[in-house]
């Protein structure tokens, strides 16, 4: 192969590398459009499948009555609009009980998540500083994550009682591992050359932590926050379903409606639980964008 031919190949390869296009404006607009239309289409398909199961699927496919999956409009009406006259002349609206229960569950979930964030970040920082502690604590963190939460909740209730503090403990147990693992991964992913630069400058460990490691680990840390936020809501609801004592959270109200075969109200409580999990996830996504901004490489991934 001649030198001229080799030079052409090298130049062509170099041009391909340099001219590798970023996402064009048209492609970005298309992705934004898909991000809006896609979820709407999937939601419409889900609602259509729900009505299909109510009118035909449950009875003919599973030999179950259709009222086990009531129509979506009945769920919304009975849960948030319908007024039921009471013997004393007042009207009962299930919406008031559902909203109060949701507030109670949200408090427990947020307190448990806050405790998980503080404990998880502290533990990850210490594990990053001491390799022996990382190797010592890691198996127990994995074991805690592997314990079936449905199996451990009744035991915790028998030992610590059925107070809200025990529900918070359940949230911490289920939400701690993603925060520790993601934070530790972010802290250990800092480029070695940047560490060498800080070493040449003779900076202290605290300065290195807050000026280098934490900023570089922010995307991974907030990814752990988003995962743990949903898990904390799950822990709060599961604790309420098993304890059935203390504050009347959304899990207790949901179980009450289910025991009375009030399926529309049961699904209404389930809908609010899903909305709470989505709201917490979106909250931490927004905080992540505000905290990271446009300075980190992950901000340009879109």
Please report, for the domain that includes residue 126, its CATH number. Answer: 1.10.3720.10
Decide if 230 is inside a domain. Answer: yes
pLDDT at residue 6 greater than cutoff 70: no
* Helix, strand, coil percentages in the chain from 3-state DSSP, rounded to 5: 80, 0, 15
Cα dist from 175 to 101, 179, 182, 238, whole Å: 21, 7, 12, 13
d(C-alpha 178, C-alpha 227), whole Å: 7
Query: Per the structure, how many domains does the chain have?
Result: 1
| Confidence band, pLDDT 50/70/90 cuts, at residue 268 | very high
Q: Does some domain include residue 202?
A: yes
User: Which has the closest alpha carbon to 224: 272, 187, 271, 273?
Assistant: 187
- The answer to whether residue 56 sits within a structural domain is no
Contacts by 163-169, CB closer than 8 A, 24 or more apart: 163/246, 164/108, 164/246, 164/247, 166/239, 166/243, 167/108, 167/112, 167/235, 167/236, 167/239, 167/240, 167/243, 167/246, 167/249, 168/108, 168/111, 168/112, 168/115, 169/112
Euclidean distance between CA atoms 137 and 148, whole angstroms: 19
What's the mean pLDDT when you consider all of the chain? 84
Contact 55, 66 (CB under 8 A): yes
Lowest mean per-residue pLDDT among 67-76, 80-89, 107-116, 129-138: 80-89
Q: Which of 65, 64, 97, 59 is nearest to 78 (CA)?
A: 97
State residue 294's pLDDT score: 55
Give the Cα separation of 239 and 230 in Å (integer): 14
Are the C-beta atoms of residues 249 and 240 closer than 8 Å to each other? yes
Is pLDDT larger for residue 32 or for residue 98? 98
Lowest mean pLDDT among 53-57, 89-93, 121-125: 89-93
Q: 242: domain range?
A: 100-300
Domain membership flag for residue 157: yes
Whether 269 and 101 have beta carbons less than 8 Å apart is answered as yes
- Backbone angle region of 247, left / alpha / beta, with phi > 0 → left and psi within -120 to 50 → alpha: beta
Higher local confidence (pLDDT), 21 or 286: 286
CA 23 to the chain's CA centroid: 28
- Whether 258 maps to a domain, the answer reads yes
> What's the predicted TM-score (pTM) here?
0.81
Question: In this predicted structure, which of 12-16, 26-30, 203-207, 292-296 has the lowest mean pLDDT?
Answer: 12-16
Do you know the residue count of the chain? 302
Q: Is residue 104 part of a domain?
A: yes
Task: Please give the average per-residue pLDDT across 262-281, as a whole number.
Answer: 93
Whether 25 is covered by a domain: the verdict is no
Query: Is 292 in contact with 298 (CB distance < 8 Å)?
Result: yes
């Amino acid at each position: 192969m001649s030198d001229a031919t080799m030079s052409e190949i090298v130049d062509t390869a170099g041009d391909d590398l340099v001219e590798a296009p970023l996402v064009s404006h048209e492609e970005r607009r298309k992705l934004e459009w898909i991000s809006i239309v896609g979820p709407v289409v999937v939601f419409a398909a889900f609602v259509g499948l729900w009505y299909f199961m109510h009118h035909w699927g449950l009875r003919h496919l599973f030999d179950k009555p259709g009222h086990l999956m009531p129509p979506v409009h009945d769920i919304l009406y009975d849960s948030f609009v319908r007024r039921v006259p009471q013997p004393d002349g007042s009207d009962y609206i299930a919406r008031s009980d559902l909203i109060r229960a949701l507030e109670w569950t949200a408090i427990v979930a947020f307190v448990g998540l806050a405790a998980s964030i503080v404990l998880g970040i502290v533990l990850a920082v210490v594990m990053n500083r001491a390799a022996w502690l990382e190797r010592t604590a890691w198996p127990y963190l994995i074991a805690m994550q592997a314990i079936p939460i449905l199996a451990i909740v009744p035991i915790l209730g028998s030992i610590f009682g059925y107070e809200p503090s025990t529900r918070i403990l359940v949230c911490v147990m289920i939400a701690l591992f993603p925060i520790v693992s993601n934070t530790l991964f972010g802290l250990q992913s800092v480029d070695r050359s940047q560490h060498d630069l800080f070493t040449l400058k003779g900076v202290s460990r605290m300065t290195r932590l807050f000026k280098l490691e934490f900023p570089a680990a922010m995307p991974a840390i907030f990814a752990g926050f988003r995962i743990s936020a949903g898990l904390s809501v799950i822990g709060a609801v599961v604790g309420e379903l098993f304890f059935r004592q203390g504050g009347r959270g959304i899990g207790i109200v949901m179980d009450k409606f289910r025991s009375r075969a009030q399926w529309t109200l049961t699904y209404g409580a389930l809908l609010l639980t899903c909305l709470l999990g989505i709201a917490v996830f979106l909250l931490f996504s927004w905080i992540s964008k505000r905290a990271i901004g446009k300075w980190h490489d992950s901000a340009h991934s879109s």
